[in-house]
Amino acid sequence: MGTFKKLKMYYWPYKKYFILSMSFLILITAITVVYPMILQLTIDDVVLQKKYSWIPYLSIGFVFIMAIKGVATFINQYMGDLFGIFSVYKLRNSLYEKLQFLPFKYYDNAKTGDLMSRLTADVEGVRFFLSYGFTELLRFIILIIISVIVMCYYSVPLTVVTLITLPFLAIVVYKFDKAVHPAFRGIRKSFGRLNTNVQENISGINTVKSLSRENFQTDKFNDSNGDYKVQNLSTSFIWAKYFPLMEFLGNISVVVLLGFGGYLVIKGSMHPGELVAFYSLVWYIIWPIVNLGFVINMFSQAKASGERLLEVLEADNMIEDQSLPIYEEKVIGEVEFKNVTLRYEQDAKDALYDISFKAMPGQVIGLIGSTGAGKTSITQLMTRFYEPSDGEVLIDGKKVSDYSIRALRRSIGFVLQESFLFSTTIKENISYGRPEATMDEIIDAAKRAQAHEFILELPDGYDTVLGERGMGLSGGQKQRIAIARAICVNPSIIILDDATSAVDMETELEIQKALTEVMKGRTTFIIAHRISSLKHADEIIVLEDGRIKERGVHEYLIKNNGLYQRIYEIQFKDYQTVLSSITG
């Protein structure tokens, strides 16, 4: 029950719906047991003793009770649903909010498909239990208790004899649950795999098609679909096997009831109507026992789901605002690293080691080095996407941890290799970082990002809605929208991480123009593989294996006999070769 105790803050505020639902449930269950009693009266008094004058009263009474039951059922179901829906609304919002504030470190180890299923299927699992699980459980218990009381009122010996076979039924039900529970888990797992398959296929459709692996994907899907089918078949077999057995055992009770009950009636110690009522009542006991497994199943699934949700809700935010003092103001743009070391995982090797440098406001710093050298890592420490394991990162002379996260991230803009665009209008994509931006500011940002012209050529201009993953735009166009988005926030520090590597040479020129515009008056960090992109930097830092190997301006580094010079020669020679092949 620990899981539900921990989740209490999400559902207990709505306890009034729960209590209402439960109170009416008791009423409904009591009325259910009245049916057989009316049947008994009709047979024993009306039919056998010929008291036909009772018929109108019995009929009116019956209709009246039915009407009450109808209203009670409505309130019970609706309130139960409200309880589940309201609770889960709160829960889902909290989860989503939590996801926004979880650090990158969390996402490094999380899988999209898994998180998605937590937010959908697991939340639904909890809702279903809150809405129906509790209710059903209580209904069964009340139904059994009231039925047994009424049965004992008619005849204690018959009650004992009839119920004697029920423990066997309970054993079979228990066995059935043991078999069906793992089968259900198998189905869920298999369905999860099927989902992941589809999700990855759709997200990676470019890769699938460009490597013409359509058949492979189809086969892979066939496999997981086949597995899902097998899982369903085996579950279905368990059902088919156990249900007749349970019904058989239930019917044995009925046979015993009719045999011994018939004897009592003939002997005259019981009325025929009472026997008929008994027949109905016994099913009110058998039916809950058979279904008890369901509810227990629902409970264990909801518990598992609840645990998965708590894992997210209780995950460590790790990087949070300090309580005091917090600098809220926008930064000017001086960046200093003092002996910074970064390790992503406790026992991993250093991704950065003893990094020190200083960038004055408005300066351009180039970062170059082979893949995995730590270029991106340096920039992610400025925004506190990660925390340094050692050393200090200072902006305007103050530790980054003394700024509010919000101020920090509004002061630092990113343009990445591939930028994510939301499936909404171009306008909203550009103003994403500053939703209050006016239309004029948006257009100005687009113009400076060299995006204004192509945007005007789109069907709805700035109101054009982009497809999923920015479908419908070229890589270069997407990149310019991303640049406009960065300009729109007007950050003091801008980070261009491989911003031109995903586009062709011609587009690169356009983007370079846009980037020059972005860099104006801002401290800029350019990460690039091509020396041409960063040779005008005020300082170039050459990284290797997380360490600074060389530093200085372009003119110095090309004569320094180091890594930079080698990169330069390779790229320059290539260029010469290309040039000579063109000119012949």
Does position 376 interact with ligand DCP (CB under 6 A)? The reply is yes
**Which DSSP string do the residues of 32-83 spell out, in sequence order?**
HHHHHHHHHHIIIIIIIS--TTHHHHHHHHHHHHHHHHHHHHHHHHHHHHHH
> Of all residues in this chain, which one has the CB nearest to Mg ion in the complex?
376
Residue 438 interacts, among ligand DCP, Mg ion, none and using kind-specific CB cut-offs from 5 to 8 Å, with none
CB 374, min distance to Mg ion, A: 8
- Site membership for ligand DCP, residue 533 (CB under 6 A): no
DSSP-derived secondary structure for 454-494? HHHHSTTGGGPBP-GGGTTS-HHHHHHHHHHHHHHH--SEE
For the chain, counts of helices (H) and of strands (E): 23, 10
Choosing among ligand DCP, Mg ion, none, which partner's interface includes residue 351 (Cβ < 5 to 8 Å by kind)?
ligand DCP
- Which one of the spans 11-19, 231-239, 366-374, 576-584 is the region binding ligand DCP (CB under 6 A)? 366-374
Write phi, then psi, for 61 (nearest 5 degrees).
Answer: -60, -45
Spell out the residues 6+ positions from residue 138 whose beta carbon is closer than 8 angstroms to its own.
22, 25
Residues 285-344 that bind ligand DCP (CB under 6 A): 344
Which of residues 125, 374, 388, 413 is near ligand DCP by CB under 6 A?
374
Indicate the residue type of 73: T
Minimum CB distance to Mg ion, residue 497 (Å): 6
Q: Which does 80 bind (CB under 5 to 8 A by kind): Mg ion, ligand DCP, none?
A: none
User: What is the nearest approach in angstroms of ligand DCP to the Cβ of residue 381?
Assistant: 10
366's contact among Mg ion, ligand DCP, none, with CB below 5 to 8 A by partner kind, is: none
| 343 SS3 class | coil
Report what 306 binds from ligand DCP, Mg ion, none; CB cut-off 5-8 Å by kind.
Answer: none
Q: Does 108 bind ligand DCP (CB under 6 A)?
A: yes
Strand, helix or coil for residue 367: strand
Q: Interface residues for Mg ion in 318-377 (CB under 5 A)?
A: 376
279 binds, among ligand DCP, Mg ion, none (CB under 5 to 8 A by kind): none
Q: Is 383 in the site for ligand DCP (CB under 6 A)?
A: no
How far apart are the C-alpha atoms of 494 and 412, rounded to whole Å?
Answer: 6
**Residue from 69, 308, 375, 409 in contact with ligand DCP (CB under 6 A):** 375
Among 204, 372, 467, 521, binds ligand DCP (CB under 6 A): 372
Task: Give the x/- contact pattern for Mg ion in 544-563, rule: CB under 5 A.
Answer: --------------------
Shorter beta-carbon distance to Mg ion: residue 334 or 497: 497
Which strands sit side by side in the sheet containing 547-552, from one edge to the other? 412-415, 493-497, 523-527, 364-369, 539-544, 547-552
| Residue 332 CB contacts under 8 Å (≥ 6 apart), including other chains | 361, 396, 492
Query: In this structure, what token pair is assigned to residue 80?
Result: 């139960």
Using CA atoms, how far residue 374 sits from 344, 366, 526, 530, 548, in Å, is: 11, 13, 13, 17, 10
Count of residues interacting with ligand DCP (CB under 6 A): 12
Strand, helix or coil for residue 356: strand
Q: Are strands 523-527 and 364-369 parallel, antiparallel or unpaired?
A: parallel
Name the nearest CA neighbour of 527 among 355, 353, 365: 365
Return the residue of 351, 400, 426, 484 that touches ligand DCP, per CB under 6 A: 351
**Binding partner selected for residue 448 from ligand DCP, Mg ion, none, CB under the kind-specific 5 to 8 Å limit:** none
* CA 7/CA 307 separation, integer angstroms: 9
Touching ligand DCP, residues 433-462 (CB under 6 A)? none
Check residue 366 for interaction with ligand DCP (CB under 6 A): no
Whether 118 contacts 95, CB under 8 Å: yes
Shortest distance (Å) from residue 557 CB to Mg ion: 20
Q: Which residues bind ligand DCP (CB under 6 A)?
A: 108, 344, 348, 351, 369, 371-377
Q: Which residues bind Mg ion (CB under 5 A)?
A: 376
